Amino acid sequence: MSLPEPRPGIMDIAPYIGGESKIPGVNRVIKLASNEGALGPSPAAVEAYRAMAGELHRYPDGGCSDLRKALGVRWGLDPARIVCGAGSDELLGLLCRAYAGPGDEVLYSQHGFLMYPIAAKTAGATPVTAPETNLTMSVDALLAKVTPRTKIVFVANPNNPTGTYVPVKELERLRKGLPDHVLLVIDAAYAEFVSKNDYAAGNELVDAGSNTVVTRTFSKIYALGSVRLGWAYCPPNVADVLNRVRNPFNVSQPAQAAGLAALADEKFFALCKAHNDMWLPWLSEQLRGLGLDLTDSVGNFVLLRFPKATGRTADEADKFLTAKGIIARKMGGYGLPDALRITIGQDDEMKAVVAAMKEFLAP
Ligand SMILES: *Cc1c(COP(=O)(O)O)cnc(C)c1O
């Protein structure tokens, strides 16, 4: 008997495993495993989502016209160059399928986001990694790995799970060093959290040519991960390609409505930003004070590195946190088995993390 066989490479894909959300026997879990916005979505977004309940029989606006218009106004961009997707993950996958295939290489940084190799392999392409320096992407290392087969370079800036970023000048240097036919995809899922003078999502790089794309999401600061909503700012040629390969109704109307309302609620956005601006440095300082090694994260999460000594390891810390009802994210899949990633949560959740880590590390 011969069974249907997927294309070569498909069975090499390690399925993406999301953060846990339940601990058996624990009622109130503190879920800090998926970088979901600490304060949840804007109440206006929840209301807008609910208000769509009577229209579930209607197909959505396949072009996301109102949402793209609002995104254009919010970020000062041409709506015609914006393409929306069911999460930015969908757009990353579509870019791979449209621009890379068997025999092609898709390049990314060593501890880059795990969707890049999944998207590459799904397209039949070969994922290639470049080493990092101090858990930060290295433009020189990426450029050194470019071959005639390279079709796409993915960079998350800031990166998940390391939390580190490179200045926009470095992205410009990367673009200049890449051949024109290589598509540079800047994944700016955490852009809204960053307040650094030398940081930019990269829209200017998109405008400057025909070969750079910036992807964004409503899953992180807007805390709308469940509705699946992301978008890409593209040169016209790439927007045209994405609009051909995407499903015609890839973004649901409740998602579009929630996104529109979230964008309009600038007060709530400012509250979320201020929350992160306060708790990211607080949590980092407290954990460093306990002797843990942290990267300089500019996202809504921290990456903690643990010693290898028995009783002090990342695995043991994770078990300890779980017993206290706290779900962190293990990092073995990212090649960082000595690390845990912890999302910035609510005030009491941050205090609970510090108290638990204090207890775990007590002599
Ligand atoms: C969370 C995340 C995304 C994807 O988010 P979507 O929910 O699919 O929009 C993309 N890139 C990075 C680096 C992320 O951390």
Q: What's the token pair of residue 21?
A: 């959300």
How high is the pLDDT of residue 136? 98
Cβ of residue 156 lying under 6 Å from some atom of ligand 1: yes
Q: Same domain, yes or no, for 288 and 351?
A: yes
Mean pLDDT in residue range 51-68: 97
Residue 216 C-alpha to ligand 1 middle, in angstroms? 8
CA–chain centroid gap for 279, Å, is 20
How high is the pLDDT of residue 19? 82
CA distance 321 to 347: 17
Cβ of residue 127 lying under 6 Å from some atom of ligand 1: no
Q: Same domain, yes or no, for 225 and 344?
A: no
CA distance 360 to 321: 8
Q: Same domain, yes or no, for 209 and 284?
A: no
Residue nearest to atom 13 of ligand 1 (CA): 160
Cβ of residue 187 lying under 6 Å from some atom of ligand 1: yes
The CATH number assigned to the domain holding 134 equals 3.40.640.10
The CATH number assigned to the domain holding 355 equals 3.90.1150.10
Chain segment 199-213, per-residue pLDDT in tens: 999 999 999 999 999
Which of 16, 154, 193, 220 has the most ligand 1 atoms within 8 A of CB, as the residue to mutate?
Answer: 220
Residue 249 C-alpha to ligand 1 middle, in angstroms? 20
* Structural domain contains residue 296: yes
pLDDT band at 27 (very low <50, low <70, confident <90, very high): confident
Residue 8 C-alpha to ligand 1 middle, in angstroms? 26
Question: Angle of helix 314-323 relative to helix 347-361, nearest 10 degrees?
Answer: 120
Cβ of residue 225 lying under 6 Å from some atom of ligand 1: yes
Q: Same domain, yes or no, for 25 and 79?
A: no
CA distances (Å), origin 75, targets 67, 233, 331:
12, 10, 33
Q: Same domain, yes or no, for 260 and 356?
A: no
Specify the ligand 1 atom closest to the Cα of 218: 9
The residue among 226, 242, 265 that closes a domain is 265
Specify the ligand 1 atom closest to the Cα of 89: 8
Is pLDDT above 90 for 2? no
Residue nearest to atom 14 of ligand 1 (CA): 189
Residue 8 phi/psi, 5-degree rounding, is -55, 140
C-beta separation of 155 from 112 below 8 A: yes
Specify the ligand 1 atom closest to the Cα of 35: 1
Q: Same domain, yes or no, for 23 and 63?
A: no
Mean pLDDT in residue range 90-100: 98
Cβ of residue 212 lying under 6 Å from some atom of ligand 1: no
> For all residues of the chain together, what is the average pLDDT?
96
DSSP class of residue 11? G
Specify the ligand 1 atom closest to the Cα of 113: 13
* Structural domain contains residue 311: yes
* Structural domain contains residue 173: yes
Q: Same domain, yes or no, for 253 and 284?
A: no
CA distances (Å), origin 207, targets 131, 204, 245, 296:
29, 5, 22, 30
CA distances (Å), origin 188, targets 159, 194, 243, 262, 299:
8, 10, 21, 18, 10
Cβ of residue 109 lying under 6 Å from some atom of ligand 1: no
Mean pLDDT in residue range 143-150: 98
Pairing outcome for strands 293-294 and 301-305: antiparallel
Reference 209, options 244, 188, 182; nearest CA is 182
How high is the pLDDT of residue 16? 83
The residue among 265, 284, 307 that closes a domain is 265
How high is the pLDDT of residue 110? 96
Mean pLDDT in residue range 106-129: 97
The residue among 244, 265, 286 that closes a domain is 265
Residue nearest to atom 11 of ligand 1 (CA): 189
Cβ of residue 223 lying under 6 Å from some atom of ligand 1: no
Q: Same domain, yes or no, for 200 and 251?
A: yes
* Structural domain contains residue 194: yes
Which of 84, 88, 229 has the most ligand 1 atoms within 8 A of CB, as the residue to mutate?
Answer: 88
Q: Same domain, yes or no, for 92 and 160?
A: yes
Q: Same domain, yes or no, for 84 and 220?
A: yes
Specify the ligand 1 atom closest to the Cα of 112: 13
pLDDT band at 26 (very low <50, low <70, confident <90, very high): confident
Alpha-carbon Rg for the chain, nearest whole angstrom, is: 21
* Structural domain contains residue 2: no
How high is the pLDDT of residue 362? 93
**Amino acid (1-letter code) at residue 171:** L
Provide the number of structural domains found in the chain: 2
pLDDT band at 28 (very low <50, low <70, confident <90, very high): confident
Q: Same domain, yes or no, for 209 and 306?
A: no
* Structural domain contains residue 240: yes
Cβ of residue 87 lying under 6 Å from some atom of ligand 1: yes
Residue 2 C-alpha to ligand 1 middle, in angstroms? 38
Q: What's the token pair of residue 230?
A: 């992301």
Domain that holds residue 320: 10-41+267-361
Residue nearest to atom 2 of ligand 1 (CA): 189
pLDDT band at 30 (very low <50, low <70, confident <90, very high): very high
* Structural domain contains residue 350: yes
Q: Same domain, yes or no, for 99 and 117?
A: yes
Chain segment 262-304, per-residue pLDDT in tens: 999 999 999 999 999 999 999 999 999 999 999 999 999 999 9
DSSP class of residue 352? H
* Structural domain contains residue 5: no
CA distances (Å), origin 184, targets 218, 315, 351:
21, 35, 40
Q: What's the token pair of residue 9?
A: 């490479």
How high is the pLDDT of residue 158? 98
Residue 86 C-alpha to ligand 1 middle, in angstroms? 11
